[in-house]
Amino acid sequence: MAAAVRHRRVSVDGVDVFYREAGPAQAPVVLLPHGYPCSSFQYRNLMAALGDRWRLIAPDLPGFGYSATPDPADFDYTFAGYGRFLRRFVDILGLPRYAIYLHDYGSQHGFRLAMSAPDRVAALIVQNGDIYRDEFGPKYAPLLSYWSRPTPQGRAELAGNVSVAGFRDEFIGELPARLADRVSPDLWTLAWAQLSSPPRPEILLGIFTDQANTLADFTRMQSYLREHRPPTLIVWGLHDGYMPPAAARAYLRDLPDAELHLLDGGHWALETNLDEIVFLARDFLGRTHSNGATRS
């Protein structure tokens, strides 16, 4: 039976943070940082499916979802800032050890958390979260162009993506019709309702700009994988304009023992391939991060 998903709030250094939680309090923890333009809502089904054996925790990052939006003077809306936020979040919740689900922008935040305390990472599940620039897909072209030569026109083009149409394209843009109708319009409708009010659109544009700074961190993330070799499961939707299958295979350069599964889905594979991911995650976590598993 599906586990109950509970909806909670916690203050993180004065910021009111909303998070979803499922599973027994003493079960091994799986942390679920979300991607753009979503929130913890993206993990609702995965949490219900795995909550019988694991404690799953998915926060809404500040400026997203149901969490507060502190003044930019008081919160660092950058990838590095969100990485620091995650570290404070797990410390305040008293989570000494966890697996991390790495997806989309959440992979960048999650890797920063992992590198800040490698001994606390029990395992990684990587799902369409890239750290290999040479394998970027064609959908990165507008971002790469803007990063290399920022112009008002380029910024305006990026701003056009912060819209209900732009969000819809994020969720189903590359999916074939036979898969697109599996993706609920609740995703982009809720995301737009949550992100359309100022100052959130401007914060999102700032995050687009700051993403250029993550490229220099890719080598550190790759080094982290080679040095610490966390048990890693890679589950990857094939139909992804940002992160094609080659971006998944690239992880094997640094983690040749990682388990790789390419799925007939897209960037938001939890919507199109939930049962497959649940099956693979249960098997993987059961071996690497459960009460009966050998500590890695």
SS3 annotation, 130-154: CCCHHHCCHHHHHHHHHHHCCCHHH
Give the model's pLDDT for residue 74: 96
pLDDT band per the 50, 70, 90 thresholds, residue 292: confident
Global pTM value = 0.97
Q: Please say if the pLDDT value at position 294 is more than 70.
A: no
CATH superfamily of this structure's domain 5-288: Alpha/Beta hydrolase fold, catalytic domain (3.40.50.1820)
Share of the chain above pLDDT 90, in %: 98
d(CA 202, CA 124): 32
Give the model's pLDDT for residue 296: 39
pLDDT band per the 50, 70, 90 thresholds, residue 92: very high
Q: Which of 18-27, 146-155, 187-196, 287-296 has the lowest mean pLDDT?
A: 287-296
pLDDT in tens, 155-198: 999 999 999 999 999 999 999 999 999 999 999 999 999 999 99
- Picking from 88, 125, 105, the residue whose alpha carbon sits closest to that of residue 38 is 105
Mean pLDDT for 56-80 is 98
Mean pLDDT for 223-251 is 98
Q: Please say if the pLDDT value at position 205 is more than 90.
A: yes
Mean pLDDT for 73-87 is 98
Give the model's pLDDT for residue 295: 43
What phi, psi does 56 have (nearest 5°)? -100, 130
Where are the extended beta strands (E) located within the chain?
5-12, 15-22, 29-31, 55-59, 98-102, 121-126, 232-239, 259-266
Give the model's pLDDT for residue 291: 85
pLDDT band per the 50, 70, 90 thresholds, residue 1: confident
Q: Please say if the pLDDT value at position 208 is more than 60.
A: yes
What number of CA atoms fall less than 13 Å from residue 123's CA on the CB side? 25
Q: Which residues pair with 235 in a beta bridge?
A: 261
Cα 101 from chain centroid (whole Å): 7
User: Over the chain, what is the mean pLDDT?
Assistant: 97
